[in-house]
């Protein structure tokens, strides 16, 4: 189980980082979501992995650490709120710039930057 | 337990909730209530400073749970200092905002108060996970505030800011998980007790976690190479928001001071002073980068935003060296630079409103009205920021330089700070002389009137550097005592043994 768990966290985080570097708002949002899944699983495992153990005293002979579960719950709620905000912001940026690049324009070569002087702030 | 400790959290929380439900109330009523909330907050933080100045630690355990297991608030001199710093900055930003900058968004005051709540939780918490929650609370409010006023120019820096901070939050959670998996606790006092006992593989995991935590705090503090998101985001924010954000980078610095002096302090065995030898050169490079950015700025707000980065570098260099004198000097500079930078953002906005389409660009433009008043404010702000005598920036930099008097650290710190200050002076004098002196004939048609609130707020923040000089004695006594308290974490660890009783202290 430990190996599968570690591989899943690694795959989620690696895919998330790859998508984050795509520099388009939609892949970035999906990438951040994947990273936050990976992080939540990692946080969950920080209390040690156990099967059939509940985080409540007295219900079974063995019990698992309840604290990581509380931490993960908080992290999930915060992560959802942040992702929702980022989606709205990405849509707003798309509407403002008619492009989903995180810098607001598709082509970052020197030739096209002359046509968009307002991007440089000069 | 002392219930005053919850006041800086509960006051903005209740005020913010009130604002949420009053979105459609007349704006004058909303403004009055918002200002009343901020004034109450300031009063409560002053009470906490008075409480903290007897050198004891005060504890508030939620639900009366014993510290390593429950959530605690801890008040010491450093927390009280940061609280009062934020409250004073906030009240002037708020007075500036009710001069008209809060229009166009019904929830401006609510977001503003929630941001203050997040800041205050971050300063009071004694628990690493709660620090994460506080960061998220203040960040989500700051996302809203950053976008306040809308416009194309704000959406791109906004996206960058949100994405970077979300990535930072992920790293924060990973490091918290790593530290928890080994030590089984997230209470800072308990961590300080458990970390020196670690050995071998467990120690390596905590070391990795600690270094990742430093990366997160460095991102919040805008330390190089994690600082390039800041100038564009701050320069495009509304003026009172940008001024309030002057304290946001200081949250990262506060977290470094708190966690790395307590948890990874001198007593942490093999992990003592973790990461501090990295911090010193990075701080000096940050300072240099900030000065280069300030020299290259093409408008006043960008110039001030780079000043934020300069102050981060100047602050972290003495903190990384870890001497009591250095930390005390850094705390004095923290007060000075936060208020000065906040004031400069407000002054830049007032100048922009008087210059028509030239806004705050550093270009020749028709002469503005109220030039004398604005130029005096800009001069005071620039002198305090660049660190020229006789204002507080000079005293703070002098204290920082005096705290290191030997070795290669002295050579590096003195040369970088002094040469950096010289070029900062050049940057400000270039901007000031073009904006105020090199004008073409005639006046801007129909400039926006200079509001009373606005002038009072910007004038007061600039004037605080004079107050800091006048009260330099008592304030530096307070920062000296704060540094001494920070470097002796023994008393902090006593809070774990505090019996949970119903009476107050």
pLDDT of B253-286, one tens digit each? Answer: 999 999 998 888 887 778 888 888 889 999 999 9
Tell me if A39 and B159 make a contact (CB, 8 A cut-off): no
Q: What pLDDT shows up at residue B500?
A: 58
Distance separating alpha carbons of residues B228 and A116, to the nearest angstrom? 22
Contacts of A68 in chain B (CB under 8 A): 177, 180
Please give the C-alpha separations between residue B399 and each of B86, B126, B215, B480, in angstroms, as whole numbers: 22, 29, 28, 11
Rounded to the nearest angstrom, the gap between the alpha carbon of residue A59 and the centroid of all alpha carbons in its chain is 35
The structure's pTM equals 0.90
Q: Does A47 touch chain B (CB under 8 A)?
A: yes
Contacts of B139 in chain A (CB under 8 A): 82
| Nearest C-alpha neighbor of A31 from the set B163, B499, B111 | B163
The region of weakest confidence among A43-47, B16-20, B64-68, B348-352 is B64-68
Residue A68 reports pLDDT greater than 80: yes
Facing residue for A102 by CB, picked from B133, B160, B302: B160
DSSP type of residue B110: H
| Nearest C-alpha neighbor of B273 from the set B225, B216, B214 | B214
What is chain A's mean pLDDT, rounded? 82
Contacts of B147 in chain A (CB under 8 A): 89, 92
Please give the C-alpha separations between residue B287 and each of B301, B314, B413, B419, in angstroms, as whole numbers: 18, 6, 10, 10
Q: What pLDDT shows up at residue A41?
A: 92
Average pLDDT estimate for A13-30: 91
The region of weakest confidence among B52-66, B174-188, B237-251 is B52-66
- pLDDT category, A108, cuts 50, 70, 90? low
Distance separating alpha carbons of residues A87 and A103, to the nearest angstrom? 16
Distance separating alpha carbons of residues B428 and B385, to the nearest angstrom? 9
Tell me if A43 and B177 make a contact (CB, 8 A cut-off): yes
Q: What pLDDT shows up at residue B491?
A: 81
Contacts of A30 in chain B (CB under 8 A): none
What is chain B's mean pLDDT, rounded? 88
Average pLDDT estimate for B170-197: 90
Tell me if A42 and B177 make a contact (CB, 8 A cut-off): yes
CA-based nearest distance B173→chain A, Å: 7
CA-based nearest distance A99→chain B, Å: 11
Q: Does A67 touch chain B (CB under 8 A)?
A: yes
Q: What pLDDT shows up at residue B446?
A: 65
| Nearest C-alpha neighbor of B132 from the set B85, B186, B90 | B186
Alpha-helical (H) ranges within chain A are 2-20, 25-45, 67-97, 110-113
Residue B85 reports pLDDT greater than 80: yes
Q: Contact B38/B91 with Cβ under 8 angstroms?
A: yes
Q: Quick one: what percent of chain B has pLDDT higher than 70?
A: 97
Q: Strand, coil or helix: what is B479?
A: helix
Distance separating alpha carbons of residues B277 and B27, to the nearest angstrom? 51
Q: Give the contacts of B284 (CB within 8 A, at least 6 positions apart).
A: B313, B317, B412, B413, B416
Q: Contact B83/B9 with Cβ under 8 angstroms?
A: no
Burial class (CB within 10 angstroms; exposed 0-12, middle 13-18, buried 19+) of B104: exposed
CA-based nearest distance B441→chain A, Å: 23
Helix (H), strand (E) at residue B443: strand B439-443
Facing residue for A85 by CB, picked from B129, B162, B170: B162
Contacts of B170 in chain A (CB under 8 A): 32, 35-36, 39
Q: Give the tens place of pLDDT for each residue, B100-154.
A: 788 877 888 999 999 999 999 999 998 898 999 999 999 989 988 888 877 777 8
Q: Contact B175/B212 with Cβ under 8 angstroms?
A: yes
Residue-wise DSSP of B169-199: HHHHHHHHHHHHHHHS--BHHHHHHHGGG--
Residue B472 reports pLDDT greater than 90: no
Q: What pLDDT shows up at residue A92?
A: 87
Which residue numbers of B have CB closer than 8 Å to A's CBs?
129, 133, 136, 139-140, 143, 147, 152, 155-156, 158-160, 162-163, 166-167, 169-170, 173-174, 176-178, 180-181, 184, 186, 298-299, 302
For chains A and B, CB pairs below 8 A equal 93
Q: Give the tens place of pLDDT for each residue, B49-80.
A: 999 888 888 888 888 887 777 888 999 999 99
Pull the structure tokens for residue B364: 């020749």
| Nearest C-alpha neighbor of B254 from the set B135, B341, B340 | B135
- pLDDT category, A120, cuts 50, 70, 90? very low
Distance separating alpha carbons of residues A14 and A18, to the nearest angstrom? 6
């Amino acid at each position: 189980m430990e190996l599968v768990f570690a591989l899943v966290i690694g795959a989620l985080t690696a895919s998330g980082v790859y998508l984050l570097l795509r520099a388009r708002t939609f892949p970035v949002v999906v990438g951040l979501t994947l990273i936050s899944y990976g992080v939540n699983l990692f946080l969950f495992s920080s209390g040690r992995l156990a099967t059939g153990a509940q985080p409540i005293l007295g219900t079974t002979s063995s019990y698992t650490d309840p604290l990581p579960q509380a931490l993960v719950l908080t992290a999930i709620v915060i992560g959802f709120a942040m992702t929702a905000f980022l989606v709205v912001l990405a849509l707003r940026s798309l509407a403002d710039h008619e492009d989903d690049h995180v810098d607001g324009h598709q082509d970052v070569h020197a030739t096209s930057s002359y046509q968009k002087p307002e991007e440089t702030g000069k | 337990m002392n219930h005053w400790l919850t006041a800086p959290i509960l006051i903005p929380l209740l005020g913010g909730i009130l604002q949420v439900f009053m979105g459609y109330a007349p704006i004058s009523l909303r403004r009055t209530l918002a200002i009343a909330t901020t004034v109450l907050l300031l009063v409560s933080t002053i009470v906490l400073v008075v409480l903290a100045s007897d050198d004891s630690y005060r504890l508030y355990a939620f639900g009366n749970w014993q510290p390593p297991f429950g959530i605690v608030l801890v008040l010491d001199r450093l927390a009280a200092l940061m609280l009062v710093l934020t409250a004073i900055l906030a009240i002037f930003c708020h007075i500036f905002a009710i001069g008209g900058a809060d229009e166009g968004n019904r929830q401006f005051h609510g977001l503003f108060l929630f941001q203050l709540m997040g800041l205050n939780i971050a300063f009071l918490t004694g628990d690493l996970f709660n620090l994460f929650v506080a960061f998220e609370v203040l960040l989500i409010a700051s996302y809203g505030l950053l976008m306040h006023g809308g416009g194309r120019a704000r959406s791109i820096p906004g996206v960058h800011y949100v994405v970077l901070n979300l990535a930072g939050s992920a790293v924060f959670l990973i490091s918290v998980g790593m530290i928890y998996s080994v030590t089984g606790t997230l209470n800072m006092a308990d961590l300080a007790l458990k970390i020196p006992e670690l050995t071998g593989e467990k120690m390596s995991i905590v070391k990795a976690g600690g270094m990742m935590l430093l990366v997160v705090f460095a991102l919040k503090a805008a330390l190089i190479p994690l600082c390039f998101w800041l100038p564009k985001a701050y320069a495009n924010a509304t003026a009172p928001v940008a001024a309030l954000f002057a304290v946001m980078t200081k949250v990262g610095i506060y977290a470094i001071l708190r966690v790395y002096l307590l948890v990874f302090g001198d007593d942490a065995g093999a992990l003592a002073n973790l990461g501090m030898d990295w911090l010193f050169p990075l701080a000096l490079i940050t300072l240099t980068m900030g000065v280069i950015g300030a020299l290259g700025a093409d408008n006043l707000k960008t110039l001030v935003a780079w000043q934020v980065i300069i102050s981060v570098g100047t602050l972290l260099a003495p903190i990384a060296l870890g001497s009591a004198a250095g930390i005390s000097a850094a705390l004095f500079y923290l007060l000075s630079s936060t208020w000065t930078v906040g004031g400069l953002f407000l002054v830049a906005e007032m100048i922009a409103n008087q210059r028509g389409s030239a806004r705050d660009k550093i270009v020749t433009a028709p002469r503005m009205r109220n030039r004398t008043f604005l130029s005096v404010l800009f001069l005071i702000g620039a002198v305090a920021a660049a660190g020229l005598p006789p204002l507080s920036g000079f005293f703070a930099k002098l204290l920082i330089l005096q705290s290191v008097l030997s070795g290669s650290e002295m050579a590096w710190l003195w040369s970088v700070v002094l040469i950096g200050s010289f070029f900062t002076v050049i940057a400000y004098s270039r901007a000031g002389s073009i904006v105020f002196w090199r004008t073409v004939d005639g006046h801007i048609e129909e400039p926006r009137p200079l509001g009373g609130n606005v002038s009072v707020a910007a004038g007061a923040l600039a004037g605080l550097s004079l107050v800091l000089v006048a009260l330099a004695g008592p304030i530096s006594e307070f920062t000296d005592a704060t540094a001494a308290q920070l470097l002796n974490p023994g008393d902090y660890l006593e809070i774990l043994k505090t019996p949970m009783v119903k009476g107050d202290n």
